[in-house]
A and B are shown apart, each in its own frame.
Chain A
């Protein structure tokens, strides 16, 4: 058994710094590269791509990345765990296999394929059997949106990832797996932690939580002493150096920018936190009130003392459904009286929308530069404001009404208050809104599947 296992995070979300995973692989020693590609919005986009092209529906960026790093990963025995498979895990694995073939890695690569999360085709069966998949926030039953659903996935935990690694996969590709499972899986595989060793499972889960947002724990978006954080242009992504006893150190490669210290880790720990006593994953329930932190040299924070409890008997399900359309229009008003001009423009715009009889489910006006982030807490804007951006958004089910709204923004330039600019981007685009339906499903209904593709 290895004494320490180093898991490097390469992406905090789909669209994060493209060269971060490459730098994690090449910048120093690591054992695993963990890549999180799936935001909630991603699954519905991938379902649409797959509907158009049966070979699509996964994160293509991952395949491009593998082309670049696979030879190094194979040479240095770095294993890759990624939820890049989206709604077509097999398709993603085949694409990676093709890349491996091109790279001359025949006979060397075993790809683990984790499926079973996609339940889109089973929803009617569930509803028929009385599994209501009620919205966790609103308690509504799924029938209210049944005909608008675009994707439905259960969040798988670490177990199938462990199985794939145990059977020798160097690259493990999943669909909807929890971010934390991508880190916990390799640790269970390496250290042989029991499935009811709750404290250790909680520790691995918290290690995953800390590194899953990439550089957000190593100096990015860090309020604490932010001016002094060095060289964010060259920010080092985090690495969890874990030990078999469930303690770990968060660090980053030498010669990288950013900062790992107790405050930077604390900020990430509280990010998107609910009840800290109960951080629920498919693998365990972690207690964030037990976490102890200590600095352990430069850019190293030791994390220990973590306690956890038994996993629940449900899995979270993320369902996406079509929820109408939206558009956002902006214009910039300059000094003098920038704020008053923007307010006047908003009144004129709303009067015109009213006259046209346009109805929206929601209309929101914000003044960027005055109150868009802190609302009334920002106080009255300075009369000397150099400029302010008027930002008006509308949302509704009637696409035509949203289209008409987008045509009413530019005319304000010649027919409204003076000192206005900032319309270079053209007419606002109408976006389809895809909303989320969080629900729970009994674990017994979901069976994860692990298969392999040998190159």
Chain B
């Protein structure tokens, strides 16, 4: 089955210069391994095609059930230089929650996700 991150995670994003950071947090602890396996740096780079012009770095925080992504060259120059409505990358969090991942039915059922699709 296909599942959108919105139904299994929450997130917050911010900026550091022209880099957006997105912290992706599993809604429940058991879901973290699924995020860690599926939401790779490459996957996120692909998702933000046309928005993120640099590389994507990923860091793992299993203690918080969270992943942190750095999306370089994503904010139109960043800070005060940027002309974007979202020059501080505040809505990159919800933009990442649009990502859909495929998960086999057995795992979805084990994680209690079947009804949520």
Cβ–Cβ < 8 Å partners of A328 in chain B: 83
- Closest chain-A Cβ to B30's Cβ sits at a distance in Å of 15
Find out whether the CB atom of A137 lies under 8 angstroms from the CB atom of B17: yes
Residues from chain A with a CB closer than 8 A to the CB of B94 are: 223, 373-374
* Residues 23-77 of B at the A interface (beta carbon under 8 Å): 23, 25, 27, 47-51, 59-66, 68, 70, 76-77
Report the Cα distance A274→B15, complex, angstroms.
10
Q: Are B62 and A366 in contact (CB under 8 A)?
A: no
**Is B12 within 8 A of A393, CB to CB?**
no
- A366 CB contact (under 8 Å) in B12, B17, B63, B84: B84
Task: Name the one of B16, B18, B91 contacting A274, with C-beta atoms under 8 angstroms.
Answer: B16
Question: In the bound complex, what is the Cα–Cα distance between A305 and B62 (angstroms)?
Answer: 14
Tally A-B pairs: CB < 8 A: 127
Partner of A326, one of B60, B61, B83: B83
CA distance in complex: A263, B64 (Å): 9
Indicate whether A51 reaches chain B with its CB closer than 8 angstroms: no
Interface segment, one of A82-90, A94-102, A288-296: A288-296
A86-117: CB near B (< 8 Å → 1, else 0) gives: 00000000000000000000000000000000
Asked whether A362 and B12 contact (CB < 8 A) given A267-B23, A377-B47, A394-B83, the answer is no
Q: Are B12 and A271 in contact (CB under 8 A)?
A: yes
Tell me whether B21 and A273 are in contact (CB under 8 A): yes
Do A377 and B63 touch across chains, with their CB atoms under 8 A apart? Answer: no
- What is the CA–CA distance of A41 and B98 in the complex, to the nearest angstrom? 32
Q: CB distance B79 to A435 under 8 Å?
A: yes
Chain B residues, Cβ within 8 Å of A267:
10-12, 23, 25
- CB-defined contacts of B85 to chain A, threshold 8 Å: 366, 368, 372-373, 391
B116 to chain A, nearest CB (A): 15
One of A137, A364, A373 near B95 (C-beta < 8 A) = A373
Contact for B93 among A223, A362, A377, A434, CB less than 8 A:
A223
The answer for the CA separation of A289 and B93 in the assembled complex, in Å, is: 20
- Does the CB pair B86–A223 fall under 8 Å? no
Among B23, B47, B94, find the residue whose CB has the most chain A CB atoms closer than 10 A.
B23
The minimal Cβ–Cβ distance linking A385 to chain B, given in whole angstroms, is 17
Say yes or no for B80: interface residue by CB 8 A criterion. Answer: yes
- Is there an interface contact between A375 and B12, defined as CB atoms closer than 8 Å? no
Contact among B23, B79, B80 with A271 in the assembled complex (CB-CB below 8 Å):
B23
Interface string of A433-448 (1 = CB under 8 A from B): 1111010000000000
C-alpha spacing A364/B77, complex, angstroms: 12
| Interface residue? A427 (CB, 8 A) | no
Q: Please, which residues of chain B bring their CB within 8 A of the CB of A270?
A: 11-12, 21, 23, 25, 61, 64, 66, 68
Number of A residues near B (Cβ < 8 Å) is 49
Output the least CB separation between B6 and chain A (Å). Answer: 9
Q: Which of A16-37 contact B (CB under 8 A)?
A: none
Contact B83–A393 (Cβ < 8 Å): yes
A167 within 8 Å of B by Cβ? no
Q: Is the interface of A mostly helix, strand, loop or mixed?
A: mixed
Contact A377–B12 (Cβ < 8 Å) = no
A151 interfacial by beta-carbon distance below 8 Å: no
Residue A40 CB within 8 A of the other chain: yes
Find out whether the CB atom of A364 lies under 8 angstroms from the CB atom of B23. Answer: no
Asked whether A271 and B14 contact (CB < 8 A) given A372-B86, A373-B91, A374-B94, the answer is yes
Q: Is the CB of B11 within 8 A of A223?
A: yes
- Which residue on chain A has the smallest CB distance to residue B51? A375
Instruction: Determine whether B81 belongs to the interface, using a CB cutoff of 8 Å to chain A.
Output: yes
Q: Can you list, as one digit per residue, whether each of A304-346 has a CB less than 8 Å from chain B (1) or not (0)?
A: 0100000000000000000100101000000000000000000
- Nearest B residue to A360 via CB reads B83
Give the distance in Å from the alpha carbon of A279 to the alpha carbon of B51 in the complex: 26
Asked whether any CB of chain B lies closer than 8 Å to the CB of A272, the reply is yes
Given contacts A274-B21, A276-B68, A374-B98, whether A395 and B79 have CB atoms under 8 Å apart is: no
Known interface pairs A289-B61, A366-B85. Does A266 touch B80 (Cβ–Cβ under 8 Å)? no
Q: Do A272 and B63 touch (CB < 8 A)?
A: no
Q: CB-CB < 8 A to B66: which residues of A?
A: 266, 269-270
- Please state if B10 and A272 are interface contacts (CB–CB under 8 Å): no
Q: Indicate if the CB atoms of A289 and B21 lie closer than 8 Å.
A: no
Closest to A364 in B: B83
Chain A neighbourhood of B83, CB < 8 A:
326, 328, 362-364, 393-395
Tell me the bound Cα distance from A277 to B61 in angstroms: 9
Selected from A291, A375, A376, the residue in CB contact (under 8 A) with B64 is: A291
A-B pairs with lowest CB-CB distance, top 10: A270-B23, A393-B83, A272-B14, A373-B91, A364-B83, A267-B12, A372-B85, A223-B10, A374-B95, A224-B10
Q: What is the interface of chain B, defined by CB distance below 8 A to chain A?
A: 10-18, 21, 23, 25, 27, 47-51, 59-66, 68, 70, 76-77, 79-81, 83-86, 91, 93-95, 98
Known: A305-B63, A362-B83; 20 extra A-B contacts, CB below 8 A, are: A223-B11, A266-B66, A267-B11, A270-B64, A271-B14, A273-B21, A276-B59, A291-B63, A293-B64, A323-B81, A326-B83, A363-B83, A368-B85, A372-B85, A372-B86, A373-B94, A374-B95, A394-B83, A433-B80, A435-B81
